[in-house]
Amino acid sequence: MANRYNYALKMELKKQNNVAAGLVSDRFPTVSGIVIHMTYYRDAPKPVLMVRTVNVYPTSYAYFKMDCMIKGCSAGGFDLTSVIDDMVKTHKKVKKGALICHGEIDTVASEHAHIEYETVIEYGKISKKTVAVVIKKDA
């Protein structure tokens, strides 16, 4: 019963984080789509844990923190928010990199997992109305 309660709390927190982040279309009006290719690695004889592709649409939430896939990892994960913010700010289309999970697990080293990512952003045309809204927000 405790696991069900903890899961419900975790899902509620995730929902609150998504709502707080806002939509991609509101936060990045010039972006028409984002594709994030990730390969999760762990410290093990077979290091590749998972290969994952995340498609982000203008109607998606602008929350880019991916959970660590190692069971029992607390307060870990991979936050791509600053990567995507920087890419949009500089109008960059492709960026590759790596992030390390600094979460905590009792029996495993603190740097127990990492990802290698490639982020591709597609920019669309923006309307004059969108430009006016962006200018008002910045002013």
pLDDT-based confidence at 126, cuts 50/70/90? low
Mean of pLDDT over the chain:
85
pTM of the model: 0.79
Name the amino acid, one letter, at 83.
Answer: V
Q: How far is CA 22 from CA 63, 64, 85, in A?
A: 8, 11, 14
Q: Which residues, other chains included, contact 118 with Cβ-Cβ below 8 Å and sequence gap of 6+?
A: 36, 37, 94, 95, 96
Across the range 104-112, mean pLDDT stands at 70
